[in-house]
A and B are shown apart, each in its own frame.
Chain A
């Protein structure tokens, strides 16, 4: 980009003439700000597109969705005012193609683009192209995106602003193996190889000894190249049992920067966050305040405009370091919204149209505690590999203090083209333990059939005593649940069980572990259900060919009848123990 300097961004509506057609007129952006944003193109899919569309509609702003051909019937397409199909199922043919997104915005009369997270959200060129097309990019200035997007540059910038960064070193691309090892020694082992353009754990490698370094750098470069098109990597000292604490910040074009408290995101599997919360537990108020101030300093030093997140690592001694700044809305933003009551998407939109932040720092009060868990289509029994398939049944939880952000609707297909996240479940309560218990119940209520998911894993984490005690750090899952996998079904009796041992005794000793005896009971129920359905005793549309009657016993009561909400076979006594159900078809008819 030339000398435009991006300073036109949503500033005080100095220019009011609309340069509508001239594609190169970078100043067009300010004109929309004069009358406020009228129509937003939502350049994303899934739950975050749904989130942005909801905010737009609540604000009385129009919203246009873009979809790939795989997403025509998706939830975000259903909720938007208008939908534009922009290409093939692969993101590289649709959601990642900036020109098509911008063309869709122009065609449908949008004056702003909200990028969500991922895809084009941290693409500075895209932000510039939006401005050039007369569209407000709802996010920070392109040069800030660029600077913070390259971690090596961000580190340098923060060091200059007196923000502490994790000790580390750059790597020359043509460094010899010997030079690599020398740099590694200087940083100190263990260390992390990280992709400069990286995120979400991609292109990252842990190295515990010098001889592993060369291979790790190679693997990280390959992964970074394939994921981000940029193979640059650098080294960073691996802190021991650090906590990942990040601060939500808001900045506006009037020079105001505030923070909205911190989020604790230490529960990570392979550097991918899966459980987050706000506020961070077990943190002194003094330390908390210093972390907040440092985050505000970091954001102010780049004149940040919009919603952003300053990620930090806190080590065991109470030292903390700048890790990176995410120049976009964060996946885990709901926990901040829960405890502060601030609608972050609405704030993003207001800031983008040039308004000052509506809330003063002193008015930001963190109330209660919120926890978020990420439900992923992945198979914990197979190394958490992403799963694909049709969602056949999805019943999210509900009730007071429970929020579900999802892009999944009936028949939604989880494909390998996109992120396998199915839903974010968040809970709020007056204190941490109440929020945690509410989360456990919410997970217990959730039903998801059709794709394997991490539901039971999330529940195990939230029920873990160390999690309940708030004793968390980024190695939590490795330390407490190493190699966790759901117990495999033990449907056949184990061969080594002693003769004469009773069913009950066997249950008690089923492979020790948190579920103990209950697990075996669950296996029985799973098996019983399979037997009931497959043997045709429960009618579910087409039965298995050749299997006989529906219903149990001779009186013909059962699944063959017209489907009611419930088909009663005998009187139910939910709390009775030892009462056998009596067959009573008359009762059913009397109902």
Chain B
């Protein structure tokens, strides 16, 4: 079967098959991942990978799955087709949003300006702390959706970016989101 997952802003597409006693995960140009499920209960999975036994703790809610291995926890979301199309469309032009409700204090870029990944784009106040939000990609500012002083929330886009064309990319090293599908 096909598995279409999202983890943060990243989209992943795998094929999942049973071969003998193992589950085999293949796709994305990655070497096949073979594993067997040794045991599980409602929140623990004991997996055998070629390297040995790994314990994963998990909680599934609908199409969301939280998994912790070691002290690392990750949220996976199982995408349906529509979500995946929306996400694919958005990847070329990422939108900066306020992570939580707050107030827009300052806009540090202008429409048309070029930004590098990691460059601060706006300053917002959330939870009584001032926070800078940064560009996620090397790109160009397409649109600014809010004004200074406005109350903003995660639903409202603040700034829309678009990826630079290959020739005017500041450096060619970015394996940014959306570099392949």
Contact = CB atoms under 8 A, between A and B. Distances in A.
Contacts of B130: 219, 223
Contacts of A540: 42, 58, 60
Interface string B112-123: 000000000000
B78 A385 contact: no
Interface string A373-406: 0000001011101101000110100000000000
A444 B69 CA distance: 10
B72 A393 contact: no
Contact of B7 (A489, A521, A535, A574): A489
Contact of B40 (A538, A574, A577): A538
A239 interface: no
A552 B18 contact: yes
B31 interface: yes
Interface in B143-157: none
Interface residues of A, number: 78
Contact of A527 (B8, B33, B73): B33
A459 B76 contact: no
Contacts of B169: none
B108 interface: no
Interface string A520-544: 0110111111111111011011001
Given A382-B99, A383-B131, A529 B67 contact: yes
Interface in A532-577: 532-535, 537-538, 540-541, 544, 547-548, 552-553, 558-559, 563-570, 572, 574, 577
Nearest to A489: B7
A583 B126 CA distance: 54
A576 B42 CA distance: 25
B108 to A, nearest CB: 13
B30 A491 contact: yes
Contact of A522 (B29, B61, B69, B127): B69
Contacts of B107: none
A142 B10 CA distance: 54
Given A455-B71, A540-B42, A528 B128 contact: no
B25 A531 contact: yes
Given A495-B175, A537-B37, A563-B42, A449 B66 contact: yes
A21 interface: no
Contact of B48 (A495, A518, A581): A581
Contacts of B33: 524, 527-528, 531
B130 to A, nearest CB: 6
Given A456-B71, A494-B175, A532-B23, A488 B8 contact: yes
Given A533-B67, A581-B38, 18 more contacts: A219-B130, A392-B59, A393-B57, A489-B10, A518-B70, A522-B70, A526-B69, A531-B14, A533-B45, A538-B37, A538-B45, A541-B60, A552-B23, A553-B20, A572-B46, A572-B53, A574-B53, A583-B21
Interface of B: 1, 3, 5, 7-8, 10, 12, 14, 16, 18, 20-23, 25, 28-31, 33, 35-43, 45-49, 51-54, 56-61, 63, 65-76, 78, 99-101, 125-132, 134, 175, 179-180
28 contacts: A223-B128, A227-B128, A416-B100, A446-B71, A449-B73, A489-B7, A489-B10, A491-B7, A492-B29, A493-B31, A521-B49, A521-B51, A524-B51, A528-B33, A528-B49, A529-B45, A529-B69, A531-B14, A531-B23, A533-B65, A537-B23, A541-B60, A547-B1, A552-B36, A563-B41, A569-B37, A572-B53, A577-B52
Interface of A: 202, 219, 223, 226-227, 379, 381-383, 385-386, 388, 392-393, 395, 416, 420, 443-444, 446-450, 452-453, 455-456, 459, 486, 488-489, 491-495, 503, 518, 521-522, 524-535, 537-538, 540-541, 544, 547-548, 552-553, 558-559, 563-570, 572, 574, 577, 580-581, 583
